[in-house]
Amino acid sequence: MKISMTVNGSEIGGEVPDRTLLVHFLREVAGLTAANVGCDTSSCGACTVLLDGRSVKSCTLLAAQADGRDVVTVEGLTSGPDDLHPMQRAFRAEHALQCGFCTPGMVMAAVSLLAENPSPTEEEVRTALEGNLCRCTGYHNIVRAVLAAARDGAASASPAAGQAAAASPAGPGRPA
Amino acid sequence: MSILGTRVVRTEDPRLLTAGGTYVDDVRAPELAAAVRATFVRSPIAHAMVTGIDVSAALGAEGVVAVLTVADMDDLGPPPPPPEDGGDDEPGGEAAPVPLGGLWAEPLLAVDRVRFVGEPVAIVLTDDRYQGEDAAELVSVDYEPLPPVANAETALAGETLLFPGTKSNIAAMAGVTGNGSAGDGSIFDGCDVVVEQAIGNQRLAPVPMEGRAVAAAWADGKLTVWVSTQNAQISRFILAGALGLDPDAIRVIAPDVGGGFGAKIGIDRDGLIVAWAAKHTGRPVRWAETRSENMTGMTHGRAQRHVIKIGGTRDGRILAYALDVVQDTGAFPRMGGFLPSLTNLMATGPYAIGQVQASYRVVVTNTTPISAYRGAGRPEATAAVERAVDLFAAETGLDPGEVRRINLVPIDQFPYSTPSGATYDTGDYVTALDKVLAGAGYAELRAEQARRRERGDVLQLGIGLASYVEITAADAAGGETARLVVHGDGTATVYTGSSAHGQGHHTVWAMLVESELGIPMADVTVIHGDTDLIPAGVGTYASRSLQLGGVAVQKAAVDVKDQARLVAADLMEASEADLELDTERGVWQVRGDPATSRTWAEIAGHAGAEGLTAATNFTEGQPTFPFGTHLAVAEVDTETGKARLIRHVTVDDAGTVVSPVLAEGQRHGGIAQGVAQALLEEMVYDADGNPVTATLVDYAIITAAELPSFELLASETPTTVNPLGVKGIGEAGTIGATPATQNAVIDALGHLGVRHIDMPLTPNRVWAAINAAGENGGSR
């Protein structure tokens, strides 16, 4: 079937088999390989992206379900490695990533969390990230990073905060 | 001031955070542009003869390029025949090669029988991944079931043998005496108190977030293999042997690797099949396993049964300790055949115990093969002895902290040689214990525990201790390579034989260059994991990277500095002895005269077109022995059996700390995996050898919601066996945290009469133990 969606502000379309998962559409049609597949049971969250501003596990949706909708992946948070979103900055400052495989999903889940709850407690962060698995960090520094980003007001820099912000490829997520 | 020991953030992170890493399945190399997808047909049965494989239906399915079985592997030549004298019919013994060959050899695709659920039987190549899953379903395999050997007990009984021609399922053994365990018990003569306990150390799935992944392309007589591995060079060696190729005809690339934890050492059987398929068909092939495949196809870890016996005096002095290990190594004796020798070596842990007997047997079962998993034989040793010490303390009525203090190797005894043959380099075990007790507020915790017991609270408090010593860079003599080039523009490139999969090598190797040469980290490029660029290297396991690979970088830098001095003398027309390197500014100058300074660009440029180059292979004279103490505080609901870790306080002393940020990160991750083993995780098989925890829904991998933040205390006791004074820190967490957490939960129930519960300490098990203790007359 033919589908089309906005991915990180750009229109991406293609002819794909009906059963194509959103994560495979992103990785193989859109060429955005940051979202990873870490399980086949919607358990790990390595594939987490924002769909119309809310975090979803992109292995659990068909690409067709995103037809005509707005997707933001970690690549769309900023313009590149020299320009970190406050959440990415906090992840780096707090050493919240090691191998990096869960990181794109973890960052998007964290961005989504702060959009819903701009100043969570440690317990709220831990509960909110229960659906995102990390085998390297013991979550200790991830939790610290999310709390630090919240203190720095990351929620207001989030594309999850509004559809409008996510519509511009270079703009979303830049620190004010 | 040196950058070493300071809190530097990682150079790897901006890329990983904004674009994601480039893992094998992300590689878009031109050689892979026309790649087909590989999908395995795997055995759904634990033990069976394979009597027929019909691929015709699959061949006709949409997108199918090839369906390959062992019958297509004629280009590899026949497998080597068993030795004429019957060869390996006896247990391999202490010096058994790993993996075992001969009658115990592991094929690539299954030949005439399958020995575990998940064993590869055929491989399907298709244009896309979804077609592969469909076509694999159409491969029809006839199995004639054999009796399953689903666990170590059945294996030892020996009614069914996994390998025809052998006399038992015991693949290796050491130290076992006539009665089937260690010694005759005479070492306990003269002990006032003797306690014996059978202890399980359950099978775990490593679950790196990236599963196994391989891509391979064969062109112009050269095989290029991208593999998610901890060791590119070892992978090349294994590939060359398996495929009958000259190593020079193979290039192995380890791109970003999404975690390994010991389960990605080298390249395994499935990866070899993918590489063979690319060579066999001439088509580039990609494979990235699904998690369900990973849970049975990737090696598992631990899977030991222990019987411990500990004896000593009423006032807390431990005099004798015996440890018998049965290692379930799964269907083939891969590295699991070697792990219990490390468990035996480290049997007595940090304690000065005069009389020791240790033994092991390695048995094959119809389950996924066992290999290294974070700690690899040492967490098992620590778990056994730390349970033993707590049981001994409970029997004597002494405080577990006090019993440890009495028996820890004292500081004036180093280097300390153990009865089991290890030589501990440096340590200060008592201080580590005391720091943790003070840092945790041990006395107040015990007081709170007493109050809750007094009140009969539903939520009881447990305090668990684990003092440990472990062995890192066990293969110290294997060494590690580094090559350092300082270019004519003043930048530097490090080629390291070590291999990163999250540890932060690129950051630390650059720190070492900056510290030694004054070339800023930002101007240092680190390259790893490409055998065309780095033909010689070992890679990463056994917490060896910094103490071998890091020291190699430092030594290469010293070598470059020596060369630079000569070049600078020539360039500056000064005597070598009068020159100095100002590492703050990264310039050479006549001593005390900054006006004369010359940059690295000028020096390296003057040295010639190639700049300055130094290559080293650093070996250590012996392994190093990090140590520490963990204290876990657990809350246990005595009505439901639910146990929760609420605090975790540790000292992990791995010598000099080069990067505090990364060392803490290693500790955090290891602690979480240790707590996970203690409370949650277990790879379970039923009596027929069917895995019942083969997805992340069923396998209870630990999440953020089940852990507290950790309380890490600092301690640095340098080693003398390398110039940086560093030991390994990668595995300390699992080694200390697992028994500390287990001891904490059991400690919470001590007043109810509970003495031991096997891991994982699930609510069901804890609840059952509380009730069993109650029935046996424990007070409630």
What does the pLDDT look like over B736-776, one tens digit per residue? Answer: 999 999 999 999 999 999 999 999 999 999 999 999 998 87
Which residues have C-beta within 8 Å of that of residue B553, sequence separation ≥ 6? Answer: B482, B484, B494, B496, B509, B512, B513
Strands B48-54 and A48-51: unpaired
- Region B201-219 average pLDDT: 98
Mean pLDDT for all residues in chain A = 90
How many angstroms away from the CA of A76 is the closest CA of chain B? 8
Q: Tell me if B639 is assigned to some domain.
A: yes
Predicted local confidence at residue B14, as pLDDT: 97
Residue with tokens 């004036």: B412
Tell me which residue of B243, B97, B114, B241 sits closest to B171, measured CA to CA.
B97
B705 reaches A (C-beta below 8 A): yes
Do A64 and A111 fall into the same domain? no
pLDDT value at B281 more than 80: yes
- Region A134-144 average pLDDT: 98
CA dist B396 and B240 (Å) reads: 58
Q: Tell me if B58 is assigned to some domain.
A: no
For B125, the token pair is 């190549």
Do B606 and B653 fall into the same domain? no
CATH of the domain at A99: 1.10.150.120
CA-based angle B313:B462:B684, to the nearest 5?
A: 95
Do A160 and A90 fall into the same domain? yes
Which residues on adjacent β-strands are paired with residue B175? none
Q: What is the pLDDT of residues B551-561, one digit of tens each?
A: 999 999 999 99
Which residues have C-beta within 8 Å of that of residue B779, sequence separation ≥ 6? Answer: B751, B752, B753
Q: What is the pLDDT of residues A20-49, one digit of tens each?
A: 999 999 999 999 999 999 999 999 999 999
pLDDT value at B90 more than 60: no
pLDDT value at B82 more than 50: no
Helix (H, G, I), strand (E, B) or coil at B88: coil
CA-based angle B341:B715:B208, to the nearest 5?
A: 50
- Contact criterion met (CB below 8 Å) for B355 and B275: no
Structural domain boundaries enclosing A127 = 86-166
Single out the residue in A45, A76, A107 at which a domain terminates. Answer: A76
Predicted local confidence at residue B454, as pLDDT: 98
Beta carbons of B668 and A36 less than 8 Å apart? no
CATH of the domain at A51: 3.10.20.30
**Chain B residues near residue A44 by CB distance under 8 angstroms:** 209, 291, 696
Q: What is the pLDDT of residues B667-706, one digit of tens each?
A: 999 999 999 999 999 999 999 999 999 999 999 999 999 9
Residue B413 phi, psi dihedral angles, 5° rounding = -100, 5
Predicted local confidence at residue B762, as pLDDT: 98
Question: Which of B:229-258 have CB within 8 Å of A?
Answer: 256-258
Tell me which residue of B515, B557, B551 sits closest to B624, measured CA to CA.
B551
Do B600 and B493 fall into the same domain? yes
How many angstroms away from the CA of A27 is the closest CA of chain B? 8
CATH of the domain at B612: 3.30.365.10
- Region B278-290 average pLDDT: 98
Do B611 and B694 fall into the same domain? no
- Best residue in A98, A107, A113 for a mutation probing chain B (most B CBs within 10 Å): A98
Q: What is the pLDDT of residues B573-616, one digit of tens each?
A: 999 999 999 999 999 999 989 999 999 999 999 999 999 999 99
The total domain count for chain A is 2
How many angstroms away from the CA of B700 is the closest CA of chain A? 11
Q: Which residue has the higher pLDDT, B681 or A155?
A: B681
Do B186 and B334 fall into the same domain? yes
Which residues have C-beta within 8 Å of that of residue B137, sequence separation ≥ 6? Answer: none
- Best residue in A36, A40, A95 for a mutation probing chain B (most B CBs within 10 Å): A95
Beta carbons of B210 and A132 less than 8 Å apart? no
For A39, the token pair is 């399980």
- Region B394-401 average pLDDT: 98
Strands B222-227 and B250-253: parallel
CA dist B67 and B39 (Å) reads: 9
pLDDT value at A175 more than 80: no
Q: Which residue has the higher pLDDT, B86 or B232?
A: B232
Q: Tell me if B231 is assigned to some domain.
A: yes
Is residue B249 packed enough to be buried (19+ CB in 10 Å), middle (13-18) or exposed (0-12)? Answer: middle
Do A12 and A70 fall into the same domain? yes
Task: For B68-119, give the secondary structure using H, E and C.
Answer: ECHHHHHHHCCCCCCCCCCCCCCCCCCCCCCCCCHHHCCCCCCCCEECCCCC
How many angstroms away from the CA of A91 is the closest CA of chain B? 8
Do B567 and B632 fall into the same domain? no
Beta carbons of A33 and B25 less than 8 Å apart? yes
**Chain A residues near residue B528 by CB distance under 8 angstroms:** none
Single out the residue in B298, B318, B342 at which a domain terminates. Answer: B298
Do A91 and A161 fall into the same domain? yes
Q: Tell me if A174 is assigned to some domain.
A: no
Question: Which of B:270-309 have CB within 8 Å of A?
Answer: 288, 290-292
pLDDT value at B88 more than 80: no
Structural domain boundaries enclosing B246 = 1-29+207-298
Q: Tell me if A146 is assigned to some domain.
A: yes
Torsion of CA B225, B263, B673, B331, to 10 degrees: 150
Do A39 and A92 fall into the same domain? no
Q: Which residue of A has its CA nearest to B503?
A: A98
Residue B40 phi, psi dihedral angles, 5° rounding = -85, 145
Do A50 and A113 fall into the same domain? no
Tell me which residue of B276, B277, B272, B342 sits closest to B304, measured CA to CA.
B342
Q: What is the pLDDT of residues B431-446, one digit of tens each?
A: 999 999 999 999 999 9
Which residues on adjacent β-strands are paired with residue A13? A4
Q: Which residue of B has its CA nearest to A123?
A: B705
**Chain A residues near residue B10 by CB distance under 8 angstroms:** 92, 95
Predicted local confidence at residue B717, as pLDDT: 98
- Best residue in B16, B24, B662, B706 for a mutation probing chain A (most A CBs within 10 Å): B16
For B321, the token pair is 């300790």
Helix (H, G, I), strand (E, B) or coil at B333: coil
Single out the residue in A76, A94, A122 at which a domain terminates. Answer: A76
Q: Which residue of A has its CA nearest to B659?
A: A95
Q: What is the pLDDT of residues B371-396, one digit of tens each?
A: 999 999 999 999 999 999 999 999 99
- Cα B184–chain centre separation: 34
Predicted local confidence at residue A108, as pLDDT: 98
- Whether the model clears a pTM of 0.80, i.e. scores above it, the answer is yes
CA-based angle B129:B135:B136, to the nearest 5?
A: 90
The beta-carbon neighbor of A101 closest among B130, B258, B733 is: B258
Do B291 and B304 fall into the same domain? no
Predicted local confidence at residue A158, as pLDDT: 60
How many angstroms away from the CA of B707 is the closest CA of chain A? 8
The beta-carbon neighbor of A140 closest among B17, B291, B709 is: B709
Predicted local confidence at residue A166, as pLDDT: 38
The beta strand positions in B10-126, using DSSP E, are 36-42, 48-54, 64-68, 113-114, 120-126
B646 reaches A (C-beta below 8 A): no
A/B interface, count of CB pairs below 8 Å: 186
Single out the residue in B268, B283, B298 at which a domain terminates. Answer: B298
**Chain A residues near residue B662 by CB distance under 8 angstroms:** 95
How many angstroms away from the CA of A96 is the closest CA of chain B? 8
The total domain count for chain B is 4
- Best residue in B6, B9, B18, B506 for a mutation probing chain A (most A CBs within 10 Å): B18
Predicted local confidence at residue B93, as pLDDT: 46
Single out the residue in A49, A76, A103 at which a domain terminates. Answer: A76
Predicted local confidence at residue A174, as pLDDT: 32
- Region A107-125 average pLDDT: 97
For B147, the token pair is 């009796």
Q: Which residue of A has its CA nearest to B675?
A: A138
**Residue A161: pLDDT band by 50, 70, 90 thresholds?**
very low
Beta carbons of A141 and B129 less than 8 Å apart? no
Do B753 and B661 fall into the same domain? yes
Mean pLDDT for all residues in chain B = 95
Predicted local confidence at residue A157, as pLDDT: 73
- Region B2-29 average pLDDT: 97
Single out the residue in B618, B647, B675 at which a domain terminates. Answer: B618
Do A65 and A10 fall into the same domain? yes
Do A58 and A38 fall into the same domain? yes
ipTM of model over 0.85: yes
- Contact criterion met (CB below 8 Å) for B181 and B173: no
Q: Could you tell me the CA-to-CA distances from A153 to A28, A90, A118, A156, B57 in Å, in that order? A: 34, 11, 7, 6, 59
Beta carbons of B661 and A37 less than 8 Å apart? no
**Chain B residues near residue A144 by CB distance under 8 angstroms:** 709
**Residue B415: pLDDT band by 50, 70, 90 thresholds?**
very high
Q: Hey, which of A72-86, B84-98, B544-558 has the most confident mean pLDDT?
A: B544-558
For B726, the token pair is 């560093």
